[in-house]
Amino acid sequence: MIYNLGSINADYFYKVPRLPVPGETLAATSMSCGLGGKGANQSVAMARAGVEVRHIGAVGGDGQWLVDQMAKAGVDTRHIHPSRYPTAHAIVMVDSDGENQIVIFPGANQDQNPETINNALSAAQPGDWLLLQNETSHQKETARIAAEKGMVVAYSAAPFDADTVAALLPYLRLLIMNEIEAGQLAKALGAELLHLPVANVLVTKGTRGVDWHDTRLMQTVSIPAFPVTAVDTTGAGDTFTGYAIAGLSSGLSPQSALRRAAAAAAISVTRAGTADAIPTSREVEAFLA
Ligand code: RIB
């Protein structure tokens, strides 16, 4: 079982000819809205990859439609707490190359409920996984409870903050960052990636694939990305992370899990949207075949 303490956002997409510069007003050519948030996207990716995932999160009174979409995708939503704050949302601008710029209003994501978290994890067994990202409150407390229970704790460190990563490191088995963030973390801690006190570090490098660092074996394995023409890169990292955790938690080797994850991310960038763009495992198998 995978538990995911994660954000739930309403994503408002604005298609723009190019990303605006400071002080500029720009007209969007289209607009749409869908389920998003790094946490929800990763839960949907894990469910579509075929593993059982229980999402721990919070939405306001205006967020039931997002919870319904998560449930429809196969995510267990029983531990989503009703917050007195409004549901979080994101303003996502996507340019003609599929690149984006995102502003988040955190709302209910910062109002996680300790009782809900404790209730959720009371059923967890040693060997179950806990996944976290940096868009909610209560990450450190939740990671500590999970580590004490013998769970495998994985942290997808986005949006990146070196101090938050440092605070979580004692509880982590797997840390996921992009290569810029990995450089920032190595600098902040004064340690090379292979010397970080965490068993595995996964570094995503966009179109150049990913590196899997095993700090116990002092080994690095590189997995290439699949070349595709991007329509919208929003949520590709979440698709990758969800599929990677699904594969690793099911006992796949890092090579196999990450190759599937790279295929899922490649499919997602050929589609518009975030959670809506995440492929099913059948689509991933067909792509790999
Ligand atoms: O990673 C993409 C996600 O970042 C979007 O869904 C948006 O809500 C923000 O959380």
pLDDT in tens, 106-132: 999 999 999 999 999 999 999 999 999
Q: Residue holding tokens 């960038």?
A: 269
The atom number, within ligand 1, closest to the CA of 88 reads 8
Q: Tell me whether residue 275 is in a domain.
A: yes
What was the pLDDT predicted at 116?
A: 98
Pocket test for ligand 1, best of 92, 93, 278 (most atoms within 8 A of CB): 92
Report the domain count for the chain. 1
What was the pLDDT predicted at 204?
A: 95
Domain ranges, residue 252: 2-7+37-86+109-288
Q: Tell me whether residue 168 is in a domain.
A: yes
What residues have CB less than 8 Å from 148, skipping those under 6 apart? none
Check residue 141 and give left, alpha or beta (phi > 0: left; psi -120 to 50: alpha): alpha
Dihedral of CA atoms 228, 231, 235, 238 in degrees, nearest 10, equals -10
Q: Tell me whether residue 101 is in a domain.
A: no
- CA 28 to ligand 1 centroid distance, Å: 19
Q: Tell me whether residue 49 is in a domain.
A: yes
Q: Tell me whether residue 258 is in a domain.
A: yes
What was the pLDDT predicted at 58?
A: 98
Q: Tell me whether residue 70 is in a domain.
A: yes
- The first and second tokens of residue 127, run together, are 């060997």
Q: What is the mean pLDDT of residues 49-57?
A: 98
Q: What is the mean pLDDT of residues 32-46?
A: 98
Q: What is the mean pLDDT of residues 207-211?
A: 94
φ/ψ of residue 30, rounded to 5: -160, 165
Show the ligand 1 pocket: residues with CB < 6 angstroms.
7, 9, 11, 36-38, 41, 90, 102, 104, 135, 234-235, 237-238, 274
pLDDT in tens, 216-233: 999 999 999 999 999 999
Instruction: Pick the residue whose CA is nearest to atom 10 on ligand 1.
Output: 37
Q: Tell me whether residue 100 is in a domain.
A: no
Q: What is the mean pLDDT of residues 238-244?
A: 98
Above 90 in pLDDT, residue 98?
A: no
- Provide, rounded to the nearest whole percent, the portion of the chain with pLDDT above 90: 97
Residue 257's CATH number = 3.40.1190.20
Q: Tell me whether residue 20 is in a domain.
A: no
